[in-house]
């Protein structure tokens, strides 16, 4: 297929030069006609099942407009969105690719052609700002972020503060990304502290918590099970940082004191075979149920049937840590008291003895003791559940977090403009 005049015009021109020309001429005219800020929301996978929090942010925007740039469009039925642009598989001459990779030693996104494909999208759509979801994606896009003459905001969610020693030069590139962007969004204060340790300027960090739609997880009035049939729930990806082996070992202890109790684990992930084997070894196969991934309606139904929410997260061997778990906030919104660990951002949502009970990481006996204590004290159980609901309503309701996100967008544009006037970019 012959190239259009526009394609011929764009070929081989650096992004920064094109952005400036485009911005001064047709881009300025287009932005002049726009009444609202336009944000390019970049997400490598749009969307994995566990990324509902990203979907809620993008769909919840009120004062700005957005479109999505993605490499992989997934689960469109579960996450419908009308304005998604797929980068697609770039076509690149093998010799040119080899020259870029081995001779010029360009970053992968450049020699693979992703730079060119993404650049064209940005030029054609002319957004005022780009929001890159997940810090590791920001590292991958660093050549583009450096070349573009508009501001980029990075958001960090927990798994993306890992050191990644297997990727040569990763930390150096991460520091480069943190240095060049005007603002960095974090889901928890603990993630923000970790980024400061990695070299991020503290005045760039803005707290933007997961927003929970309270109407989707309304408060449920629960009653104490008279026969001791307590229903414990944990909903999460089945990965090391979620502390699932600790939860199972704690439940084995609990089952000796509460023989009618049961434990439901909702979620999917690579640890499922290991966890199912451990369940059998602990003699819990008849009392523990693995549901797999649940959509929002079935998850809400599960919470309505439960009495206690568990989330004994722990620092994984690869240094993967939690922000504030989405599933925990949803459970709290429905009035479930939480028993969890003092890990990552969990204590920012759960105050010990107020919305739940917190124990140290990787200690099944301490977790079991907390479960038995809560199930043996009706007043404590009822009080913590009501307080959990109020905590989410006051601090994690979706409208408030969307306001914070949009405020960060406007601030990032203002900061970048100030930098340009000062000649610092």
Q: Return the DSSP state at 12.
A: T
Preceding amide of 244 cis, omega within 30? no
Residue 104, pLDDT score? 52
List pLDDT tens digits, range 281-295. 999 999 999 999 999
* Residue scoring higher pLDDT (100 or 354): 354
* pLDDT class of 19 with cuts at 50, 70, 90: very low
Residues 284 and 232 sit within 8 Å (Cβ to Cβ): no
What lies within 8 Å, CB to CB, of 77 at 6+ separation is: none
Cα-to-chain-centroid distance, residue 369: 31
List pLDDT tens digits, range 33-81. 678 999 999 999 999 998 999 999 999 999 999 999 999 999 999 999 9
Residues 332 and 386 sit within 8 Å (Cβ to Cβ): no
Q: What gap in Å lies between CA 188 and CA 143, rounded to an integer? A: 27
List pLDDT tens digits, range 257-278. 999 999 999 999 999 999 999 9
| pLDDT tops 50 at residue 25 | no
Average pLDDT of the chain, as a whole number = 88
Residue 320, pLDDT score? 78
Helices (H) and strands (E) counted in the chain, each on its own, are 19, 15
Residue indicated by tokens 């690869």: 318
CB atoms within 10 A of CB 360: 12
Which segment of 64-78, 142-156, 164-178, 286-300 scores lowest on mean pLDDT? 164-178
Q: What is the 3-state secondary structure (H, E, C) of 355-409?
A: CEEEECCCCHHHHHHHHHHHHCCHHHHHHHHHHHHHHHHHHCEHHHHHHHHHHHH
- Describe the strand order of the beta sheet including 129-133 as a list of residue ranges: 84-86, 65-70, 38-42, 129-133, 152-156, 183-186, 205-207
* pLDDT class of 103 with cuts at 50, 70, 90: low
Residues 207 and 184 sit within 8 Å (Cβ to Cβ): no
Q: What is the DSSP string of 15-72?
A: HHHHHHHHHHTHHHHHHHH-SS-EEEEE-SEET-GGGHHHHHHHHH-SSSEEEEEESE
Strand partners, 183: 153
Q: Return the DSSP state at 101.
A: I
* pLDDT class of 162 with cuts at 50, 70, 90: confident
Find the DSSP H helices in 61-134: 94-98, 108-111, 114-125
Structural domains in the chain, sorted by start: 5-211+399-422 (3.40.50.2000), 214-396 (3.40.50.2000)
* pLDDT class of 422 with cuts at 50, 70, 90: confident
Q: What gap in Å lies between CA 389 and CA 296, rounded to an integer? A: 18
* Residue scoring higher pLDDT (99 or 393): 393
Which segment of 159-173, 245-259, 315-329 scores lowest on mean pLDDT? 159-173
Q: What gap in Å lies between CA 38 and CA 134, rounded to an integer? A: 20
Residue 107, pLDDT score? 59
Average pLDDT over residues 186-214: 94
* pLDDT class of 105 with cuts at 50, 70, 90: low
Phi, psi dihedral angles at 185 (to 5 degrees):
-100, 140
* pLDDT class of 97 with cuts at 50, 70, 90: low
Residue 319, pLDDT score? 76
- Record the pTM: 0.84
The residue count of the chain comes to 425
Handedness of CA 280, 284, 288, 289 (dihedral sign): positive
* pLDDT class of 5 with cuts at 50, 70, 90: very low
Which segment of 10-14, 132-136, 331-335 scores lowest on mean pLDDT? 10-14
Residue 13, pLDDT score? 39
Average pLDDT over residues 173-193: 95
Pairing verdict, β 338-341 and 308-311? parallel
**CA-CA distances (angstroms) from residue 391 to 158, 190, 334, 385?**
21, 19, 11, 10
């Amino acid at each position: 297929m012959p190239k259009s005049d526009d394609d011929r015009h764009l070929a081989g021109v650096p992004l920064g030069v094109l952005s400036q020309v485009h911005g001064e001429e047709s881009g300025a005219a287009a932005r002049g006609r726009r009444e609202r800020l336009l944000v390019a929301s970049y997400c490598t996978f749009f969307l994995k099942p566990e990324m509902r929090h990203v979907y809620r942010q993008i769909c919840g925007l009120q004062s700005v407009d957005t479109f999505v740039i993605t490499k992989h469009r997934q689960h469109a039925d579960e996450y419908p969105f009308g304005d998604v642009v797929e980068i697609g598989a770039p076509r690149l001459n093998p010799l040119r690719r080899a020259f870029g990779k081995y001779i010029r030693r360009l970053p992968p996104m450049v020699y693979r052609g992703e730079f060119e494909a993404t650049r064209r999208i940005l030029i054609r759509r002319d957004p005022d700002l780009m929001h890159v979801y997940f810090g590791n994606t920001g590292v991958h896009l660093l050549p583009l972020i450096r070349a573009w003459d508009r501001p980029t905001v990075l958001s960090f969610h927990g798994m993306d503060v890992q050191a990644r020693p297997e990727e040569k030069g990763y930390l150096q590139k991460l520091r480069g990304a943190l240095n060049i962007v005007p603002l960095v969004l974090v889901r928890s204060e603990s993630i923000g502290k970790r980024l400061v340790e990695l070299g991020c300027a503290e005045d760039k960090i803005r707290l933007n918590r997961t927003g929970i739609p309270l109407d989707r997880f309304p408060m449920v009035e629960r009653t104490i099970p008279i026969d001791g049939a307590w229903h414990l729930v944990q909903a999460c990806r089945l990965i090391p940082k979620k502390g699932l082996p600790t939860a199972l070992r704690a439940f084995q202890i609990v089952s000796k004191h509460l023989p009618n109790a049961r434990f439901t684990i909702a979620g999917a992930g690579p640890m499922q075979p290991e966890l199912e084997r451990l369940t059998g070894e602990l003699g819990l196969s008849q009392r523990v149920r693995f549901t797999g991934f649940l959509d929002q309606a079935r998850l809400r139904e599960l919470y309505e049937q439960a009495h206690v929410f568990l989330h004994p997260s722990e620092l994984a061997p690869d240094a993967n840590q939690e922000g504030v778990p989405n599933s925990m906030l949803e459970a709290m919104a429905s009035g479930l008291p939480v028993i969890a660990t003092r890990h990552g951002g969990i204590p920012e949502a759960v105050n010990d003895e107020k919305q739940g009970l917190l124990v140290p990481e990787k200690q099944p006996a301490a977790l079991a003791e907390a479960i038995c204590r809560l199930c043996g004290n009706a007043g404590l159980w009822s009080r913590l559940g009501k307080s959990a609901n109020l905590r989410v309503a006051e601090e994690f309701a979706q409208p408030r977090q969307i306001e914070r996100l949009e405020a960060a967008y406007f601030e990032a544009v203002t900061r970048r403009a100030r930098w340009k006037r000062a000649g610092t970019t």
